[in-house]
Amino acid sequence: MKPMVLRGGRVIDPSSGRDEVADVVIRDGRIVGVGRNQGAPDGADVHDVTGLVVAPGLIDLHTHLREPGQEDRETIATGTAAAAAGGFTAVCSMPNTDPPIDNQSAVGFVVKQAAAAGAARVYPIGAVSLGQKGEQLAEFGELVGAGAVAVSDDGHPVASGQLMRTALEYARAFEIPVADHCEEPTLAAGGVMHEGVVSTRLGLKGIPSVAEEIMVARNILLAGHTGGHVHLCHMSTRGSVELIRRAKEAGLPVTAEACPHHFSLTHEACAGYDTNAKMNPPLREPEDMEAIRRGLRDGTIDAIATDHAPHHYDAKEREFDDAPMGIVGLETALGLSLTLLVEGGHLTLPQLIARMSTVPARIFHLPGGTLAAGHPADVVVFDPAARWTVDVTRFRSKSRNTPFAGWELAGRVVRTIVGGRTVFVGV
């Protein structure tokens, strides 16, 4: 592998507070130096990145790679390629595959496939319960031993308070978070969008905000009670944000993520029965969208995650009630964040990169999220000013289910580097 120099870019490294024009030198897969006028090692590829931003590679805490079992919608190879195209050098893959990732062989399979694909890194998330049935704990020790970095039954909530409590206590031994999809099942049952005036107009069954908030409250209380780290997936309501804010003020071991669609769209996006606006948790009201943005600004919400959920075209091409929930997100996350949060004046660029790289690494104890010397060279180079239009036909992902088709966004990924090797070049 040839050494590499990224010359003259704006280097933003939230792990050290660096934000200045500098060169980054990479050798043997690691960062060896960051600063002005760095010398280039022999035989290095020197890239002029003047005017571009150089940052630690983005890390997605919540992705569905669909392999094993649902390869018609995505594979580990296509999913990690999509990640790289979106500027992500690592993704955490959720275990709700078929069969689910609830044992060490399954974890090993994911790790192996990711290595073979050779694009973004994959840190598997194992199941909380066997089969994700919500009854019996999976073997966390084995899962972690094979490479899992967290456990989750995402796709479903951990409905039983008793099981969640046990999971949080048991996970403490391995210092992994239990990531919960917060949804009270009886309140949410049958719902297909946010319960509000739009669902009333459309005649669709709604999922009330309280369905999420009840479980957020429960999880916060259990984290306090057990001392275990709970990570709250895809937060969507202002009530949830408020609960988390108070939990953090109390110093409880709670972290949270939010997805770009929850700070970009509201339930009005469902108005034409567009199944690409159907996901769980659903798009909510403008006040909820505002609360998510504020939560990201003040750190109540730690990370931006995508909840990238590929679905086949045929599956989404049906009546709203019947269509599966979920949208892809790896290839639009950075653009949406830059356009709506940074250009929108809610976050500075360094704050955004923290939310998408440094902080995710920290809260899940992952390598990455830093450009400090000696660390693996996982780097993203992007042009924050370049404007581009979302064209689904150019997606690296196998699936096209996004409500953002045709949106004009700011921020194009120019180069994604994993372990010193370029895994994506933007055109």
Partner 1 sequence: MTEPLGKDLLGLEPLSAEQIRLILDTAEPFKEVSERAIKKVPTLRGKTIVNLFFESSTRTRISFEFAEKRLSADTVNVAAQDSSVSKGETLVDTARNLEAMRIDMVVIRHGASGAARFLAERIQSNVINAGDGKHEHPTQGLLDLLTIRDKLGRVRGSKVCICGDILHSRVARSNIWGLLKLGAEVAVCGPYSLLPRGIEELGVTIFRRIEEAIEWADVLNVLRLQLERMNAGFIPSLREYYRVFGVTLERLERAPRELLILHPGPMNRGVEIDSRVADGPHSVILHQVTNGVAVRMAVLYLLAGGRPEQAEAAKRGREGAE
Distance, in Å, from the CA atom of 303 to the CA atom of 63, rounded to the nearest integer, reads 13
Name the residue nearer to partner 1 (CB basis): 17 or 203. 203
Contacting partner 1 within 102-141 (CB under 8 A): none
Contacting partner 1 within 242-281 (CB under 8 A): 272-273
Residue 192 CB, shortest distance to partner 1, in Å, is 9
For tokens 């690296």, name the residue: 396
Task: State yes or no: residue 287 binds partner 1 (CB under 8 A).
Answer: no
Distance, in Å, from the CA atom of 101 to the CA atom of 95, rounded to the nearest integer, reads 5
Name the residue nearer to partner 1 (CB basis): 344 or 406. 406
Residue 213 CB, shortest distance to partner 1, in Å, is 16
Count of residues interacting with partner 1 (CB under 8 A): 21
How many Cβ atoms are within 10 Å of 301's Cβ, its own excluded?
Answer: 28
Q: What are phi and psi of 264, to 5 degrees?
A: -115, -25
Residue 201 CB, shortest distance to partner 1, in Å, is 7
Residue 158 CB, shortest distance to partner 1, in Å, is 25
Residue 195 CB, shortest distance to partner 1, in Å, is 5
Q: In what order do the strands lie in the sheet with 88-93?
A: 58-63, 88-93, 121-126, 150-152, 178-180, 230-232, 254-258, 303-304
Contacting residue, 45, 175, 321, 408, with partner 1 by CB under 8 A: 321
Name the residue nearer to partner 1 (CB basis): 37 or 186. 186
Residue 284 CB, shortest distance to partner 1, in Å, is 13
Contacting partner 1 within 185-214 (CB under 8 A): 195-206, 208
The secondary structure of 191-248 as a DSSP string is --EESSHHHHHHT--EE-HHHHHHHHHHHHHHHHHH---EEE-S---HHHHHHHHHHH
Name the residue nearer to partner 1 (CB basis): 88 or 320. 320
Q: What are phi and psi of 134, to 5 degrees?
A: 80, 20
344, 96 contact by CB (below 8 A): no
Query: Residues 153-192: x/- map of binding to partner 1 (CB under 8 A)?
Result: ----------------------------------------
State which amino acid sits at residue 395. F
63, 79 contact by CB (below 8 A): yes
Distance, in Å, from the CA atom of 64 to the CA atom of 165, rounded to the nearest integer, reads 25
Instruction: Write down the catalytic residue from 60, 153, 154, 307.
Output: 307
297, 314 contact by CB (below 8 A): no
Token pair listed for 271: 């108005």
3-state secondary structure of 424: strand
Active site residue 314: no
Query: Residues 17-56: x/- map of binding to partner 1 (CB under 8 A)?
Result: ----------------------------------------
Options 103-111, 319-327, 340-348, 357-365: segment touching partner 1 (CB under 8 A) = 319-327
Give contact residues for partner 1 (rule: CB under 8 A): 195-206, 208, 272-273, 317-322
Catalytic residues: 307
